Amino acid sequence: MKDNVWTRWPSQEALGREGLSRSRCLLAWTVRALVLGVLLWGAFADSRMGGWKAAAGPAGVLLAALLAWAFFRTTLQHRLWPSLASLALLQGVAVAAQMSGFEVAALVIWCGCAVSALERLPPAIAFSAAGLALGSYGLVNDSDPLTTVVTGVGLALAGYTLRLDAEARGSAQRLLAQERIARAAEAETAALAERARIAREIHDVLAHSLSAQLVHLEAARLLIERGGERDQIRERVVAAREMARGGLAETRQALSALRGELTPLEDFLNQLVGTSDGAEITITGERRTLPTEASQTVRRAAQEALTNVRKHAPGAKVRLRLDYRPHEVTLDVRDSGGSPGELTGTGAGYGLLGMRERAELLGGSLEAGPGEEGFVVTLKVPV
């Protein structure tokens, strides 16, 4: 339900001082000082008689200042009845000043009440309060009726103009605050996305490298238990060492990728295939440089697919096919199948899930499942 425009308060941003420039603050305090000076001058100038009037004048000015301060505070807090009470007491002070012979002070208070009410109160109440103050001003003003009417209209327009200006400033402050919140949320989202990207890179590098090392070390352990030849055991240990070196190189590549520095995708895949027995690669289509995220997704999918072949079908032949298409790049990894390896039960299946999430974040897809012979992984990434 929409707020009733006639009963809606000006925003606290509009009624507060936040957002005011130094020059505007100086102007506001100058106006207040002038009003206070006029009130004091009126109090002493109109009191030609001594006695109690000489003391009542300054006391009335002090009371009016306190009530004005209370009115500004209660309107800032959107407290209607205390605001109306302060405004009513101010007009009562004006009436008392008029009856006591302080005509100038009374006129200044009535004008100030009218302008402040139009600026700071809900419209329906503001117009009523301003009408009462300006009506009182018109009744006691000694000027001709036309001048009085013109002055009253001018005061009303001044109050309403101040209201519009304050509401515009309040809207600007709210928009600024919302923009700051949006920027903070955007920065937090970017930081979380970057953390997720770094976490994926670390996981993919370690999963590929450590899984390959585990394959060779596990084979070496079995050879030792079964009394295998030393050359075979040495071969497995050396292979694990080479995989450790490869993992270190991949870690450096991952760090380079995080900095936006990548080796060509074709070179990376050729090196990857070169370290995998029984693997071959075919590249088709017009070769081109891919965006960093797309290139990393293809690299990690190839690594994960080869790691799964080592774990679930050791010794199987693997065919990789990288196809550059007009609007996407496709990676197809097929193995010839084989007997399950001793590491088939290791892992939690997060590798392919992570690859699928990578692809979907870029608007692509990853499909994995049994093929005609073995297992097939197909990655599609738009570029």
Q: What are the beta bridge partners of residue 280?
A: 319
Q: State which residues form the domain around 365.
A: 184-382
Q: What are the beta bridge partners of residue 377?
A: 333, 368
Per-residue pLDDT, 321: 93
175, 187, 190, 302 from 181: Cα distances, Å: 10, 10, 14, 41
Last residue of a domain, one of 142, 166, 199: 142
Judge if 119 and 221 occupy the same domain.
no
> Cα(286)–Cα(268) distance, rounded to whole angstroms?
17
Last residue of a domain, one of 142, 165, 193: 142
Report how many domains make up the chain: 2
Digit-coded pLDDT (tens) for 225-234: 887 778 888 8
Query: Whole-number mean pLDDT of the chain?
Result: 78
Does the reported pTM lie above 0.75?
no
Judge if 298 and 352 occupy the same domain.
yes
Segment 214-230 shows an average pLDDT of: 81
Per-residue pLDDT, 267: 85
CA angle centred on 350, ends 195 and 196, rounded to 5°: 5
Judge if 211 and 274 occupy the same domain.
yes
Judge if 369 and 243 occupy the same domain.
yes
Judge if 35 and 97 occupy the same domain.
yes
Digit-coded pLDDT (tens) for 23-61: 766 666 676 677 666 656 655 665 454 555 666 667 777
Digit-coded pLDDT (tens) for 165-202: 888 888 888 888 888 888 888 888 877 777 777 776 66
Last residue of a domain, one of 142, 169, 202: 142
170 within some domain: no
Is residue 352 exposed (0-12), middle (13-18) or buried (19+ Cβ within 10 Å)?
middle
> Cα(112)–Cα(328) distance, rounded to whole angstroms?
71
10, two tokens: 């000006």
275 within some domain: yes
Percent of the chain past pLDDT 70, that is, above it, reads 80
Judge if 137 and 206 occupy the same domain.
no
The lowest-confidence range among 62-66, 311-315, 322-326 is 311-315
Percent of the chain past pLDDT 90, that is, above it, reads 7
75 within some domain: yes
Instruction: Identify which of 369, 343, 375 has the alpha carbon closest to the alpha carbon of residue 211.
Output: 343
